[in-house]
Structure 1
Amino acid sequence: MTHRALISSLGGLAIAAFTLPAPASPHRPGPCSGRLQSLGYSRVELDTTSAHASVYEARRAGDEVKLMVQNGSCIVEKVWLDD
């Protein structure tokens, strides 16, 4: 591999690293936390986020659950027990 090709490859990797969605930092509220609390969830924390949806951890009725939520609209798409 030539020096120029190596620099080009490394540049492409750097651009990809900055454009990929980053996991959310644990134990922090997210943009939909208030909406989820109004639906009866408590201790709502953002777990991960991507371009279209985010995963939150929360408690409801004594159970620890995970919720997949649409970004922007805060509509809950899926709920499952957190193992």
Structure 2
Amino acid sequence: MTLKAGFHLENYILFAYYISMFAFIALIPYIRNILDLLKPSAVIGKLTERITEKSILAAASADGKLIEKDDPIPPIIYIMNASLVKYD
């Protein structure tokens, strides 16, 4: 009875060890992606994917004014202004 309990405990420890090694190795690409996202150019690149003819037409109302909540351009302008102020 004690051999089986010890054997299972050893398997659980090995499993926990391998999972922790996998998690530690998986942190490397995660940290690289997060550091890349901290650059203003990367954020602007992600936001420009939303700018299409359809999204601009959806943000425009019948009288030609833009609806602020649907407009994909102001977040880009805010980031550009902030990066210019910080000399990024």
TM (normalized to structure 1)?
0.35
> Could you say which structure has the higher helix fraction?
2
The higher-RCO structure (CA 8 Å, 6+ apart) is: 2
> Could you say which structure has the higher strand fraction?
1
The structure having more radius of gyration, on CA atoms, is 2
TM (normalized to structure 2)?
0.33
